[in-house]
Chain A
Amino acid sequence: MTGETIIHALPGANPPAPALRGWRHYADIYAALWRNSVMREMGFQANFVFWLFVELLWFALQLGFNSVLYLHTDSIGSWTKWEVVMLIGASHFVQQLFQAFFLVNCAQLAELVHSGKMDFMLLLPVNTRFLISLRHVDLGGFVSAASGLAVVGYAAHQLHVVPSPAQVLGFALLCALAMLVHYSLMFLMASISFWTVRAQGMVMAYYNLFSVARIPDAAFRGAGRVIFTLAIPMLLVANVPVKVLLAKLNSPSEIVLMLAMSVVCFLVSHLVWRVALRRYASASS
């Protein structure tokens, strides 16, 4: 068969456009992205296991540190040992889920810009932020997140706490909000690093900054507390969900505050992203 005849056999130009902005369409794309990520992970099984081990090791380290602290004290503020264990578990859970969905993607943003792959992202007829934020899925994160959840459960058992379904639901919803905060902050950093820092340094900065989340809020007073609540709301992301689970909330306003802060974080990150994009179009070569 010659070239011409094959080409004539091709389906007609421009297939009819489906509802491109529809949820179905995005769900379809996301399913394909999942498929690709799973296939990639299959190619690096040893790596997968190693990373899981690293994550668990670090998690154990946090718990170990906590045990050491409580060798010497009975409470930090109003927090007892197992309550803090639950806090560490919850913060690990949220962070690992965030890692599973978003972290690699955010960390890779600088490299996308560097290598010019960003151009291809911009060409595709879907929301660019969607594509960039959700390209890869880190499956190890889910396993690791499960370990965090297990620790939360074990701590609840030690505390003889049986949360009501409403509390569990509240915990889940607040964890989702916490992920939104993590994601927004990381994406914000990534957008800024569009034209400055390298990826490696950014992930390190992220780990250092977000380690605040595992500390009971009672440990912070004064300026520190204000900064980590209202500027970088790390003191909310794990503390508030755990307090709901433990019925430890000072007032419902903490939930409202967390909701408000997650929305604010998201909006700010979106604003910076827009500026970064505009700058990309006017400064790159």
Chain B
Amino acid sequence: MALWRAIYADKPGEIAGYTLAQMLSYYLLVTIVEATTSVTEDEWQIAADIKDGHISQFLIRPMDYLHYRFCLFVSGRVVYTVAALVPVGLLVFCNREFLLPPADLATFVCFLVSLGLAALLQFLLSYLTAMLAFWVLEISTFVFILLAFERMASGQMFPLDLLPHWLTQAMMWTPFPYGMFFPVSVYMGKVTGAALAQGLLMQLLWVGAIYALARLVWQRGLKTYTVVGG
């Protein structure tokens, strides 16, 4: 954020359609979205469960592992959000003049919907990554690679529309922006009308697609698991 202030200090006005206040509120919103939706340790735990054979007990119980992990994820997020309330609140408070309110109630509701979908998306993505543990011993490198892509393509580092237009368009076809950039844009009123509906639909499609993929990989993984495990 300090970086942006310096840039705007040299160059008052708009950068790629963002005023300084908008730019700063973008980052504040990213912080908030991150605190409420992003995955912290779930992928490590899932991988450990697979490696240590803890998933066996889910094969004999009438409870689905994905549902179980999802419950853990949700409760973990709640705890984390509460814990992050103070530092994030403080950060927002210190920069309160920059955090612009949403345009209207409908926008805010749409933001909440896409926030929920973003959380689902992030959870499913890391669940999918963790499934790699069926085939490789150490998933940390993959987690960091995914993390790197997420950082860049989700808009965590900078608003995606700072990129050349064609690149932004290309990014919007990947699942990453829907975990961060999209909900924030909704809040800021950057997407409205048909674009909003289309975006939400894309988000939903990605959630569905990754869910299906995660299911498929889980089935495949279990096969190798039971073969190896005897």
Contact = CB atoms under 8 A, between A and B. Distances in A.
A69 interface: yes
Contact of B6 (A50, A54, A58, A77): A77
A224 B3 CA distance: 11
Chain A contact-residue range equals 20 to 34
A71 B16 CA distance: 10
Contacts of A77: 6, 10
A54 B7 contact: no
Given A54-B145, A61-B151, A47 B138 contact: yes
Interface in B43-62: 44
A60 to B, nearest CB: 9
Nearest to B44: A200
Interface residues of B, number: 23
Interface in B4-19: 5-7, 10-11, 15-16
A175 B33 CA distance: 37
Contacts of A215: 2-3
Interface stretch (B85-93, B104-112, B156-164, B212-220): B156-164
A71 B7 contact: no
B7 A73 contact: yes
Contacts of B6: 76-77, 216, 218-221
Interface string B138-175: 10010011001001100001100011100000000000
Contacts, number: 66
A182 to B, nearest CB: 20
A73 B11 contact: yes
B113 to A, nearest CB: 29
A219 B15 contact: no
Contacts of B144: 54, 58
B162 A54 contact: no
B16 A72 contact: yes
B40 to A, nearest CB: 9
B148 A69 contact: no
A155 to B, nearest CB: 18
Contacts of A76: 3, 6-7, 10
Identify which of A72, A77, A218 gathers the most chain B CB atoms within 10 Å of its CB. Answer: A72
In the complex, the 7 A-B pairs of residues with the closest C-beta atoms, listed nearest first: A50-B141, A219-B6, A72-B15, A54-B144, A219-B3, A73-B7, A57-B148
25 contacts: A54-B141, A54-B144, A54-B145, A57-B148, A58-B148, A61-B151, A61-B152, A61-B157, A64-B152, A65-B152, A65-B157, A69-B158, A69-B162, A71-B163, A72-B15, A72-B16, A73-B10, A73-B15, A76-B6, A76-B10, A215-B2, A219-B3, A219-B5, A220-B6, A221-B5
